[in-house]
Amino acid sequence: MTAYDATGNESDPTNELTIYPSGQRYALLMDGTDDYCRIESSSSMALTDSMSIEIWLQATAADGAVVYRKTSSSSSSDYWSLEVDDWIIHFKGRTSGGTFDLNSGKSAQDQWRHAAVTVTADSIHLLVDGVKEASTAPPGGQLSTGVRTWLGVHAIVVPVGDNRFIGSLYDLRFRYLPQNPSHINYNR
């Protein structure tokens, strides 16, 4: 099976991601050892104050970054991360204006969950299975942009240690416009 890069940037997945059937779909099986995907920076991926991210995930370990971006390797650099923290789906980040942590309260432990994040100039929303579970006003400043985005995580720029995702991932979508909950629920 071949992954298609719609950005035209020839993104660099690892050579041996396991793709396995799961119900009616095929998923990436991330083993936490050497499985990750790097999406190169480009103008089409310069998602800052207006974006949506969606992905289906199923965690088999309690912690790990699912989709991650950080401006540089500095410990104080801006970043955002859609991740599993103690089995719970979170969207965390830091901008020049402060930090945020949207806690969905929903576990991804050994079950498929559809996670979505929408960002506008005045709000950040985290949805799980089509339901808005957490929201906040952005802390000021822009979300990290202009750098690589990681799936399953790899880079040395992870905020705390080696936070690789272990589990299954399916149907990652980036949109440069925020989707409202009804669109997300319809498209999931």
Output the pTM of the full model.
0.83
> Do the beta carbons of residue 124 and residue 100 sit within 8 Å?
yes
Is residue 4 assigned to a domain? Answer: no
| Burial readout 150-168 (b: 16 or more C-beta within 10 A, e: otherwise) | bbbbbeebbbeeebbbbbb
Nearest to 120 by CA among 95, 100, 142, 96: 142
Cα(30)–Cα(53) distance, integer angstroms: 19
Asked whether residue 96 is domain-assigned, the answer is yes
Tell which phi-psi region holds residue 161, choosing left (phi > 0), alpha (psi between -120 and 50) or beta.
left
Q: How far is CA 84 from CA 1, 32, 34, 184, in A?
A: 27, 13, 18, 20
pLDDT in tens for each of the 188 residues of the chain? 334 444 444 444 444 444 444 554 678 888 887 777 877 776 666 656 678 899 999 999 999 999 988 877 777 888 889 999 999 999 999 888 899 999 999 999 999 999 999 988 889 999 999 999 999 998 887 777 667 788 888 665 554 447 889 999 988 888 877 888 888 877 77
Query: Which residue, among 142, 147, 162, has the nearest Cα to 93 in the 3D structure?
Result: 142
Measured at the alpha carbon of residue 144, what is the angle toward residues 6 and 42, in degrees to the nearest 5?
Answer: 30
**pLDDT of amino acid 176:** 78
Structural domain includes residue 7: no
User: Which CATH number do you get for residue 57?
Assistant: 2.60.120.200
Q: Print burial letters for 94-114: b (CB count within 10 Å at least 16), e (below 16).
A: bbeeeebebebebbbbeebbb
Residue 150 lies in a domain: yes
Query: How far is the C-alpha of 94 from the C-alpha of 2, rounded, in Å?
Result: 34
pLDDT attached to residue 33: 78
- How far apart CA 68 and CA 77 sit, in angstroms, is 13
- Evaluate whether residue 5 is within a structural domain: no
Report the C-alpha gap between 164 and 184 in whole angstroms: 26
* Confidence (pLDDT) at 10: 44
Q: Is residue 1 part of a domain?
A: no
Total number of domains constituting the chain: 1
Let me know if residue 80 belongs to a domain: yes
List the domain range (segments joined by +) for residue 46. 12-187
Whether residue 3 lies inside any domain: the answer is: no
